[in-house]
Amino acid sequence: MKTRDQEYRELFMAEALEYYDSMSRHLSELERNPDAGPALNELFRLMHNLKANARAMGFNDLGEVAHHLETLFGLIRDQERAFSGPLIKVVFAGVDALGNMIRAVGANQPLPDATALLENLDRLVRGEAPVLEEVDAPDSEEEANKKMELSDLVYIQVKKLDNLLNLVGELVIDRDRIMTLAQELDNPALLATAQHLFRISDDLQYSVMDARLVGVGVLLNKFPRVVRDVASAEDKEVELTLSGQDVQIDRNILQIITDALLHLVRNAVSHGLETTAQRQQAGKPTVGQLTLSALTERDDVLIQVRDDGRGIDTEAVRRKAVERGLVSAGAAAQLDEKAVWAFLFEPGFSMAQKVTDISGRGVGLDVVKLALDSLGGQLRVESELGAGTTFTLVLPTSIAVKGALLVEVEERPYAVPLLHTDTVLSLHPGQISVVGGVLVTHFQEQSVPLVPLRQLLYDEGDGPLPLATRADIVGPQQVLVVNYNNRRLGLVVDRFIRQQNIVIKPLSKPLDTIDLFGGVTLLGSGQVCLVLDVPALTRLFLNKRP
Amino acid sequence: MNKRILIVDDSFYMRTMLKNMLTDAGYEVVGEAANGAQALEMATSTEPDLITLDVILPDNTGLDVLKSLRQLQPSAKVVMCSAVGQEVIVTEAIENGALAYIVKPFSEEKVLEIVGAALQNNSPEQAA
């Protein structure tokens, strides 16, 4: 696997440079005190490790030099050779050569030739005198400029990166403010500076975001083990295929979805895939296929869990939803399969053992949904009875910046994350009908309920929304169609402002309990803009619909 | 149940490679120790079925660790890991109850073959 090779190579380099630094340190100590036992032991050990690691990586020349030095240090340690005279020169030359070889490996260059050095080391091991070339007196300036090598890798706490990201967020908000001021004042010099600031802070923002990215592989590579364990506990044969380990994503996002993904994978093996006997009976290959893949789609990262198991039994889920009183029998019959599957993510729905057995789905899927909601992500389901199920997690690449659509209601701006928006429509009254007190339009062969955003945001109380009538529709209506959990909802707004990238700040206490708002952002004008939480708005609409 | 393995090696690179090979094969790696003191502590706290032990460790020779391990966890099987050149120590290790040894650089097949065989062997004393 490519990623694993890269990982090994990076580990090898980081450790080899560390060994090289320690060797140089211990050599200096040995030069001062030729009887320093601990330094000798360390040199012996470091040579031994470098040899073993280099050979494992296939850098045999490097391994060979380390091997010779290891042998020589073994002899010195056992007092069969003394650390004195020409031996010291050869040993220093040897360690220098190791340093050069390690750097060559790091730079992907061919390793320098070490034949003469190896011959001298052989001579020393045999107890002969080394053949030293006449070397010019070292150029003192060159000696002074001798490079100090530090590892190219820095380990950093995620907390520090979080802090950096927050600061960049603040900077970007001020930048937008300055940009707007510059435009208002119409001062060319100020405008040019503001534009420069704009570009730099943009670069800075992306650099910080980039520093937080890790390969999805760091998570995916943990799953062969999980799958093997669950499969063996369930006595099933499962073949796991991974792909897209190199797709990059913010480290914290990966952290947040870890449990959700674990849940989906376990669920797929224990409920999605059938037993060997059942598969044979169904005429399927005995080994169940499970695929975990990551891919990039526009600005989002998609992580898919696909099985070729029994699929979701839509009718069983529909019956259960009616039994549990989540929907009336009449309404349930009208729902298409995606709308039915959405019940699987209702809290507690899964607890019903019966559905789990029949449908093979639904153990705590609401947990998965919650994790995705907290990220502003989405969960998509595709399933075919008897053929398998695919869960797709749609995730933002970064938590810092989100694309959003700015809309206006009663002269106040609101931001709606693009991840949840399907489309914007300008509807004339003829395209809107009234069904059971709810405004409805047809979009892509689907009935989409419409609700004035104003009513959801400003109407107080828990009572149902007022019954809509045709009289409510005056002139063209601006509608933003949002999508959550496969449910579409049309939000009627006063006007669309524009699309822009926003930096979302969480609401602070006591406002953080208002779940209709996912946070707040500052617009360039300095105006505070609330960010709407589409999942919460959708739930509110479903609770309050007449 | 999966067999539980403790890895003792002072190189992070080596530990990572061994761990990947063993976990990929379905073993549970219960700990990674980088020196003798850690090895003894982890062997006591994790009670592994098998320990892979590097012959050359920073604070102690691998051989001393082996002797202590045999006393602390007599049930744990020990497989020595060593690069070529340390055959003397390896021979002594086998005499002191190590079941087998793996020579670095090792192939995945070799590691799994030796570890599998060592785990099959129920009486380490006989192997010595």
Q: Is it the case that residue A450 has pLDDT exceeding 80?
A: yes
| B61 compared with B68, residue with greater pLDDT | B68
Best residue of A9, A48, A230 to probe chain B, by most B CBs closer than 10 Å: A48
Has residue A321 been placed in a domain?
yes
Q: Residues A196-220: what's their mean pLDDT?
A: 85
Instruction: Indicate the pLDDT class of residue A138, thresholds 50, 70 and 90.
Output: very low
Has residue A68 been placed in a domain?
yes
β partners of residue A492: A452, A479
Q: Do A481 and A392 have their domain in common? A: no
CA A103, A105, A109: angle at the middle one, nearest 5?
95
Q: Do A179 and A283 have their domain in common? A: no
CATH of the domain at A464: 2.40.50.180
Best residue of B5, B9, B12, B13 to probe chain A, by most A CBs closer than 10 Å: B13
Cβ neighbour number for residue B112 with a 10 Å cutoff = 17
Q: Do A258 and A349 have their domain in common? A: yes
B56 interfaces chain A, CB cutoff of 8 Å: yes
Q: How far apart are CA B4 and CA B47, in angstroms?
A: 8
Q: Do A54 and A178 have their domain in common? A: no
Average per-residue pLDDT for chain A: 83
Q: Residues A86-100: what's their mean pLDDT?
A: 89
Instruction: Residue A305: name the closest of A419, A393, A395, A226 by CA.
Output: A393
Q: Is it the case that residue A252 has pLDDT exceeding 60?
A: yes
Instruction: Residue B103: name the closest of B60, B55, B61 by CA.
Output: B55
Of the candidates B14, B85, B86, which has its C-beta nearest A53's C-beta? B14
Q: Residues A288-311: what's their mean pLDDT?
A: 90
Of the candidates A42, A52, A70, which has its C-beta nearest B104's C-beta? A52
Q: How far apart are CA A355 and CA A186, in angstroms?
A: 66
Comparing alpha-carbon positions, the chain B residue that sits nearest to A48 is B83
> Which phi and psi (to 5°) does residue A145 adopt?
-90, 0
Q: Which of A373, A396, A419 is the last residue of a domain?
A: A396
Q: Do A240 and A376 have their domain in common? A: yes
Helix (H) or strand (E) run with residue B103 in it: strand B100-104
Q: Do A326 and A472 have their domain in common? A: no
Q: How far apart are CA B69 and CA A405, in angstroms?
A: 65
Helix (H) or strand (E) run with residue A60 in it: helix A60-77
Has residue A150 been placed in a domain?
no
Of the candidates A45, A56, A229, which has its C-beta nearest B104's C-beta? A56
Q: Which of A396, A417, A435 is the last residue of a domain?
A: A396
Distances (CA, A) of A66 to A49, A132, A270, A333: 9, 20, 50, 75
Q: How far apart are CA A97 and CA A416, in angstroms?
A: 60
- Write out pLDDT tens, residues B24-52: 888 999 988 988 888 988 898 888 999 99
Q: Do A120 and A249 have their domain in common? A: no
Q: Three-class SS of residue A103?
A: helix
Residues of A in contact with B60 (CB under 8 A): none
Q: Residues A317-329: what's their mean pLDDT?
A: 86
**Of A164-168, A345-349, B28-32, highest mean pLDDT:** B28-32
Helix (H) or strand (E) run with residue A443 in it: strand A438-443
> Using an 8 Å Cβ cutoff, are A111 and A105 in contact?
yes
Residues of B in contact with A12 (CB under 8 A): 13
Comparing alpha-carbon positions, the chain B residue that sits nearest to A12 is B13
Distances (CA, A) of B50 to A145, B78, B104: 50, 6, 18
The first and second tokens of residue A433, run together, are: 């009908």
Q: Is it the case that residue A145 has pLDDT exceeding 80?
A: no
Helix (H) or strand (E) run with residue B31 in it: strand B28-33
**What's residue A163's pLDDT?**
83
Q: Do A538 and A488 have their domain in common? A: yes
Has residue A510 been placed in a domain?
yes
Q: What is the pTM of this model?
A: 0.50
CATH topology for B4-127 is Rossmann fold (3.40.50)
Q: Residues A346-351: what's their mean pLDDT?
A: 65
Q: Is it the case that residue A356 has pLDDT exceeding 50?
A: no
Q: Residues A267-277: what's their mean pLDDT?
A: 89
Q: Residues A12-40: what's their mean pLDDT?
A: 84
Instruction: Residue A475: name the closest of A438, A441, A426, A424 by CA.
Output: A426
Has residue A149 been placed in a domain?
no
Q: How far apart are CA A213 and CA A398, in angstroms?
A: 8
First CA to last CA across chain B, in angstroms? 27
Has residue A192 been placed in a domain?
yes
> Using an 8 Å Cβ cutoff, are A59 and A134 in contact?
no
Instruction: Residue A361: name the closest of A321, A328, A329, A326 by CA.
Output: A321
B105 interfaces chain A, CB cutoff of 8 Å: yes
Q: Which of A366, A396, A426 is the last residue of a domain?
A: A396
Range of the domain at A517: 401-544
**What's residue A508's pLDDT?**
65
Instruction: Residue A449: name the closest of A430, A459, A466, A436 by CA.
Output: A436
Beta strands per DSSP E along A193-264 = 213-215, 238-243, 248-250
Parallel, antiparallel, or unpaired for β B28-33 and B4-8? parallel
Q: Do A382 and A364 have their domain in common? A: yes
Has residue A151 been placed in a domain?
no
Of the candidates B13, B23, B85, which has its C-beta nearest A70's C-beta? B85
Q: Do A184 and A325 have their domain in common? A: no
Residues of B in contact with A53 (CB under 8 A): 11, 13-14
Number of independent structural domains in chain A:
4
Of the candidates A15, A45, A225, which has its C-beta nearest B56's C-beta? A45
The minimum CA-CA distance between A46 and chain B, rounded to whole Å, is 9
Average per-residue pLDDT for chain B: 84
B121 interfaces chain A, CB cutoff of 8 Å: no
Q: Do A374 and A405 have their domain in common? A: no
Has residue A244 been placed in a domain?
yes
CATH of the domain at A81: 1.20.120.160
Q: Do A380 and A468 have their domain in common? A: no
CA-only gyration radius of chain A, Å: 33
Instruction: Residue A372: name the closest of A534, A505, A248 by CA.
Output: A534
Q: What ipTM was assigned to the predicted interfaces of this complex?
A: 0.82
The first and second tokens of residue A80, run together, are: 């069969």
